[in-house]
A and B are shown apart, each in its own frame.
Chain A
Amino acid sequence: MIPEIGNLALSFALAIALIQFILPLVGIYANRWRWILIAGPATMVQFFFVFIAFLSLSWSFYVDDFSVQFVALHSYRSLPVAYKIAATWGGHEGALLLWIFMLSFWSLAVALFSNQLPSMTRARVLSILGGLAVGFLSFILFTSNPFDRILPDFPLDGRDLNPLLQDPGMVIHPPMLYMGYVGFSVAFAFAITALMEGRIDSLWARWVRPWTLAAWIFLTAGVALGSWWAYYELGWGGWWFWDPVENASFMPWLIGTSLLHSLAATEKRGVFKAWTVLLAIAAFSFSLLGTFLVRSGVLTSVHAFANDPVRGTYILAFLGVVVGSSLTLFAARASSVSVSGWFDWLSKELLLLLNNLLLTVAAVMILIGTLFPIFAEAFDWGKISVGPPYFNLIFTTLMTPLVFLVGLGPMVNWRQYSMAQLGRKSLVAAIVALSIGLLVTFFETQHVAMDQFKIFLGVFLSVWLTSLALSDLLTKSRGKSTAKFRKLSASYYGMHLAHIGLAFTVLGVVLTSHLSIEKNLRVGVNQQVSVAGYQFKFEGVSDFNGSNFDGIKGKFIVTNDGDFVAELQPEKRRYHASGQWMTEAAIDPALSRDIYVALGEQLPHSQDWAVRIYVKPFVRCIWFGALLMALGGTLAMSDKRYRKKVAAKFSPKTKSSSNSENISNNSAA
């Protein structure tokens, strides 16, 4: 019964989404005020139905309704409840439902928090979001319905959720990532609206900024969580693989970051208007492309599962329609965007432009590397894969100048700045960064020259960035410079926090990549091995039982010159339903280093085990940095200027329909 309700709710949602998409647009051209006003309520009703559908599927998982095919394939009676709920997005159909749920959630947020927008603009934005919902709802209903039943002979127990996904990461990573991914749909809808209305100005940029920022925060957290999850769950201690699916989430992040910065220029100075709109379109297009890559199975990836080709074709067609029509609209309208604003060669505008170029080129390069195998296959150049060396080379080449410039950006003024002043202000930072960089390189002598140079560069860049951010914060917050800086906004602090986060991530990436010690060893019971100055004593294995698996637990005592460091218990689990083996690494985390132990397999005809023992310096900095970036974004979003008009709204003259948590009401000048 419940699955049928879900199915029905999805159909209703599609019908409502059609109304939400078509009526307001027709209303605007036919001058029917009522049709225009329907956009808001339609959005809310559509959200309601999608929410019901989502709850129905979760409920079916909760009560073990194995007559629903999707549940039977992705759940198991003795699966822990949290994973049963998370299994809702544990396969193609459910993940798609989560996508749609997020889309209608964002649409609802726009409908609720956009009372300050002109009615026409609001109706257009909601209508475009409705159009996207139509595309995805028909996709799920016609090709991947999660509510399909297996009747009458349904299985007594399910096939279980893929063991790899039975992890707390599964509960939070996909929703976070999808919130971010799908969140760019709002910026996209605003961009299309701006093109339709032929109006792109500072006010428009101020509307879009908090929405973009919100999506970006979730995406940052989502990508970082994915990397952390892969690190401890895949069992081989890597934190980034340049896997197509990782790239699919990283490209929108790069474009989104670029968009945030170009929005700043558009808001403050009214420049790069057309470019900003193009980026907003691109960010969402990359999200759609990511969905296509993940869901169509065209790529070999750690995320690739058996797939239905019809689905890939549908998403590709949808992608083509969305990207094609937006770019056509852009081509037709972009030239009408007036250009204002003048800036010198050395100015914040120019630095932001360079930021945009570097980030966009990085995204395009990753796209080339990701899609190259598909094109090669299509043109019969043989089956190829593009390895991490390509991505590492391209990415470090582009990020080095970027991180260097990020340090300078905040202190350079809009319009123009003097080179002499820039030199004076950054001199101390340069000296500090150079000396710390050289010092570290001096003590890390066991590396070849090229690696030493990279370590130096990484340390130099992160110290450079951090000290410039701190000195800028100090001078400006003390109000020593000019009076106008005395009142610093939340978004100013947020920016510096995010930049310092970037410095941490850079430091973590460089140090982990070059200083990690990774050994795959054959270890006997009670044997002691030494890795990177730590001694690991293997005390053998014991059996244990979990709720839906049983397994073997190893015991390692880690010491450092006789001092106890940690007891690590890596596991091998065998899941009952699939019989699949899983490796659970044991990690002793610390800010300066992780000790990582994972069991391979017991070697035949002996008591020996194959064991991975890794010591990874500063690997935590990578995720800590991402956390700072997300926090910085959150701080920036709390900026008063995005909420300025809310206070005014509570004056008795206006309708008091607004919400105090309203973040997007920002028509203030």
Chain B
Amino acid sequence: MKPLRKRRLIFVLSIVLGLGAAIGLGLYAVKQNINLFYSPIEVVEGKAPVGPLIRIGGLVVEGSVSIDSDSLKRSFKITDNAESVLVKYEGILPDLFREGQGIITLGHLGSDGVFEASEVLAKHDETYMSPEVADAIKKAEEEAKARKGK
């Protein structure tokens, strides 16, 4: 093999190997860092894991929002119109957070069924509902209908 071609071959091989390794590692890193989404009904039915960082979403239940009198510790319930989950959160809520509004929270589910949220997200368009929340509500409604049908 000519030295030039040999050099090119080594180049191409090392690039392909490097890219392959990088993408492999990347996919592994993705798997370590994904946050699964669960709806309140799935949490209540025990389908959501206790411990890891997950997201749950739904509508804020009317009248469920309360706050500690001397700190920023709060609690509220979120629902998919079938079941609801109690969420505890310490911090500042987004401007679009209000009762009846669709939100997503990121945090850990405790063994007592209470969700300790580290982040609360509400979208910044009033008419917009995140697809996860919309989907969860639709599914819960369908399920409720199916139950009634029986």
Contacts and interface: CB of A to CB of B under 8 A. Distances in A.
A369 to B, nearest CB: 6
Nearest to B97: A601
Interface string B24-57: 0011011011111100000000000000010100
A122 interface: no
Interface string A348-390: 0000010001000100110011001000100000111111011
A342 B23 CA distance: 29
Nearest to B7: A342
A574 B90 CA distance: 25
B26 A368 contact: yes
B124 A302 contact: yes
Contacts of A578: 126
A271 to B, nearest CB: 11
Question: Which bucket holds chain A's interface residue count?
Answer: 35 or more
Contact of B70 (A305, A522, A611, A612): A522
Contact of A235 (B35, B36, B95): B95
B125 A306 contact: yes
Contacts of B32: 390
B67 A603 contact: yes
B93 A601 contact: yes
B55 A357 contact: no
Contacts of A384: 34-37
B111 interface: no
B95 A580 contact: yes
Given A522-B71, A583-B95, A305 B15 contact: no
Contacts of A304: 123, 128, 130
Interface residues of B, number: 41
A383 B30 CA distance: 14
A610 B92 CA distance: 6
Nearest to B53: A387
B19 interface: yes
A427 interface: no
Given A382-B36, A582-B95, A394 B130 contact: no
Contacts of B67: 603-604
Given A365-B23, A368-B26, 15 more contacts: A297-B131, A357-B15, A364-B19, A382-B37, A383-B37, A383-B132, A384-B35, A385-B37, A387-B34, A387-B35, A390-B30, A394-B29, A520-B91, A522-B71, A600-B92
* Top-5 shortest CB links A-B: A600-B92, A390-B33, A383-B37, A384-B34, A581-B95
Interface of B: 4, 8, 11, 15, 18-19, 22-23, 26-27, 29-30, 32-37, 53, 55, 67, 69-72, 90-93, 95-96, 123-128, 130-132, 135
22 contacts: A300-B132, A302-B123, A304-B128, A305-B125, A306-B125, A353-B11, A361-B19, A361-B22, A364-B26, A365-B22, A368-B27, A368-B30, A372-B34, A383-B36, A385-B34, A385-B35, A393-B29, A394-B29, A520-B72, A522-B71, A601-B92, A611-B92
